Chains A and B, each alone.
Chain A
Amino acid sequence: MLRSRVIVAILCAGLMASCTTFEDAPPTNRVSFVHFYSSSIPFVGRTAEVDTDGGFILSGEIRHSNGSTDALIIKTDARGRKEWERIIPGGVIKDIKATESHYIVTGDSIALNPESSQVHELVNSYARLMILDKKGTITASRITKKLVQQVESGNSAWVNVDYYGDAVTFDNNGNILMLGSYRVPGENMRAYLAVFDPSDITDSLEHISYTQLDHDYVNCNSIHVTPSSKAVWASRIYSANQNLSRQYTLFPFVPLHGPTPPLSFDAAPSFGGNDNRSHAVQDIQRSPLGFAAIGTYAETNGQNANIYFIRLDAGYTVIPGSVRYIDGQQLLLNNRLLANETKTSSDSQDEGLALAATDDGYVLAGSITSTPMIGNGGKDILLIKLDPFGNLIWKKILGGSGDEVVSSIKETSDKGLLIFGTNTINGLSSMMLIKTDALGNLDK
Chain B
Amino acid sequence: MIRSLLLTFILIGSVVSAQAQCAQTLRLAQSIYEQGRLQDIPPLLLPCLVGDQLSHDGKVAAYKLLTLTYLYLEEPAKADEMMLLLLRTETEFKENEVVDPAEFIALLRTFRREPVFRLGLKTSAVATERSVVSADYIDDGTNRGSHGFGFVAGLSGEIPFTGKLDAFTLNPEFMLQIVAFNGQNEYDQSAERGDTARVTPATERQVWVSLPVSLQYNLYSGQITHYYASLGLSADYLMSSRMTLSSTREGSSGIEEGTRSLTHMRNRFNSGALASAGVKRKIGKGLLIAEVRFKMGLFPVSSRAHTYADPALVFDYKYVEGINRINSLMFSVGYVINRYNPKKLASR
Contacts and interface: CB of A to CB of B under 8 A. Distances in A.
Interface of A: 3-4, 7-8, 11-12, 14-15, 18-30, 32-41, 79, 81-82, 376, 398-402, 404, 423, 425-428, 430, 432, 442-444
B56 interface: no
B69 interface: no
A22 B189 contact: no
Contact of A426 (B187, B251, B253): B253
List the 8 closest A-B pairs by CB distance, nearest first. Answer: A400-B315, A25-B132, A443-B305, A28-B134, A7-B277, A22-B143, A442-B308, A426-B253
Nearest to B130: A19
Interface stretch (B22-30, B190-198, B281-289, B339-347): B190-198
Given A11-B275, A25-B322, A443-B305, A82 B315 contact: no
Nearest to B258: A401
Chain B interface helix/strand/loop/mixed? strand
A144 to B, nearest CB: 29
B134 A426 contact: no
14 contacts: A3-B220, A7-B229, A21-B144, A22-B321, A28-B322, A40-B249, A40-B252, A81-B137, A400-B315, A401-B316, A402-B315, A423-B315, A426-B252, A428-B249
B244 interface: no
A39 B254 contact: no
Contacts of A401: 311-312, 315-316
A82 B294 CA distance: 38
Nearest to A30: B304
B187 A12 contact: no
B145 A425 contact: no
Given A4-B279, A30-B307, A19 B327 contact: yes
A87 to B, nearest CB: 9
Given A19-B327, A38-B139, 12 more contacts: A15-B329, A20-B131, A25-B322, A28-B135, A30-B304, A34-B138, A35-B139, A37-B189, A401-B312, A401-B315, A423-B315, A427-B253
Contact of B134 (A26, A376, A432): A26
A398 to B, nearest CB: 7
A22 B139 contact: no
Given A4-B227, A14-B294, A28-B307, A20 B253 contact: no
B311 A400 contact: yes
B132 A21 contact: yes
A379 to B, nearest CB: 11
B78 interface: no
Of A19, A399, A427, the most chain B CB neighbours within 10 A belong to: A19
Contact of B323 (A7, A28, A41, A442): A28
B167 interface: no
A39 B133 contact: no
Interface in B182-228: 187, 189-190, 193-196, 198, 219-220, 227
Given A23-B142, A38-B198, A40-B195, A33 B308 contact: yes
B255 interface: yes
A28 B144 CA distance: 17
Interface string B260-281: 0000000000000001110100
Contact of A22 (B145, B187, B219, B255): B145
Nearest to A16: B129
Interface string B57-86: 000000000000000000000000000000
B318 interface: yes
B142 A18 contact: no
A21 B132 CA distance: 6
B309 interface: yes
Given A15-B129, A402-B316, A423-B315, A81 B135 contact: no
Given A18-B327, A402-B316, A82 B140 contact: yes
B260 to A, nearest CB: 11
A35 B138 contact: yes
A15 B134 contact: no
B333 interface: no
Interface in B77-135: 127, 129-135
Given A33-B308, A37-B140, A376-B311, A26 B316 contact: no
A28 B136 contact: yes
A8 B277 contact: yes
Of A7, A22, A399, A401, the most chain B CB neighbours within 10 A belong to: A22
Contacts of A443: 304-306, 308-309
